Amino acid sequence: MSESLSVKHLIGIKDVTANDIELIFSTADNFKQIINRPIKKVPSLRDVTIANVFFENSTRTRISFELAERRLSADTLNFAASSSSVKKGETLIDTINNILAMKVDMIVMRHPSPGACSFLSKHVDSVIINAGDGTHEHPTQALLDAFSIREKYGEVRGKKVAIIGDILHSRVALSNIFCLQKLGAEVLVCGPPTLIPKHIGMLGVKVEYNLMKALEWCDVANMLRIQMERQDIKYFPSLREYTMQYGLNKERLNSLKKQITVMHPGPINRGVEITSDVADSDQSIILDQVENGVAIRMAVLYLLAAKQEN
Ligand code: CP
């Protein structure tokens, strides 16, 4: 395995190699041990300053990056677009260049526009880490999801993963498809036809519109949220009808011949795509995903900072 990443930025899983992913995982293994010790901090990124620039709401990703940075002893600053001069008309490039002028070394950015992180990486002189760009990619989410599957089963290769729900508006789905396939898993997407992109089969995934068939096929079901905030038209008659067709409940889970693992990137809409008794069951690894997010983000920050030095 190579000791350094093949990329300077983390824009999407599409751009990284299987070797990069394995390197991030083995680095995260070490960081996971460290953050479970009484003294959780290491000095690896002392004197490195990282700005978390969020133009969209976030709980898990923002807090997880901030914790990862603190555990690595980096200096961090948090920028919320809602209370910034973006509201006065400042451009994205001007905003980021002003932040960089204050001697910031790395930018973690969430933005509602697909491609915003890629655009920024070509116009400013800094490391850019994508914390979710519109409906495009959410690379660290896919890394922590695959890392959690590896932790549960020992390896990702050969596992059958069903991604279920609003595939059309999901950056998590696209990053997961790239990541899982690079690691040798089989991927199936399931949801109403209106929420499955027409040509998604070209990515090499299976497509299934029947929830029970998808559940019977898979080892892991990754349940996605319906992204009402990105839906400009009605894609299904009502949330109640969606839940009747595609909601995962205990009865459906218990009717399967094998014990599958249930995942969800959050935020959960309890009672819509997943019931509370499933989300909180022994088969759910949802909070393991959240825990692993810190170690994965520490690994990404550490490896990209090392790459910047070389
Ligand atoms: N999974 C995820 O991206 O959650 P947040 O939107 O809370 O960051």
Among candidate residues 9, 32, 62, 138, the one labeled active-site is 138
Ligand 1 pocket test target in 53, 57, 59 with most atoms within 8 Å of CB: 59
Q: Could you confirm whether 88 is annotated as catalytic?
A: yes
Task: Return the pLDDT at 182.
Answer: 98
Task: Return the pLDDT at 237.
Answer: 85
Task: Return the pLDDT at 216.
Answer: 98
Residues of the chain falling short of pLDDT 50:
none
Provide the Cα torsion 259, 151, 20, 62; round to 10°.
90
Among candidate residues 110, 150, 169, 264, the one labeled active-site is 110
How many whole angstroms from 64 Cα to the centroid of ligand 1? 10
Domain segments of the chain: what residues? 13-137+290-309, 139-285
CB under 6 Å to ligand 1: residues?
58-61, 132, 138, 141, 265-267
- Return the structure tokens found at 212: 């029970």
Candidates 3.40.1390.10, 3.40.50.1370, 3.40.630.30, 2.130.10.10; CATH matching 139-285: 3.40.50.1370
Residues 128-154 have pLDDT tens digits of 999 999 999 999 999 999 999 999 999
Same fold, 13-137+290-309 and 139-285: yes
Task: Return the pLDDT at 80.
Answer: 87
Q: Could you confirm whether 60 is annotated as catalytic?
A: yes
Domain range 13-137+290-309, CATH class: alpha beta
How many whole angstroms from 185 Cα to the centroid of ligand 1? 24
Ligand 1 pocket test target in 55, 58, 140 with most atoms within 8 Å of CB: 58
Task: Return the pLDDT at 230.
Answer: 73
Among candidate residues 14, 60, 70, 230, the one labeled active-site is 60
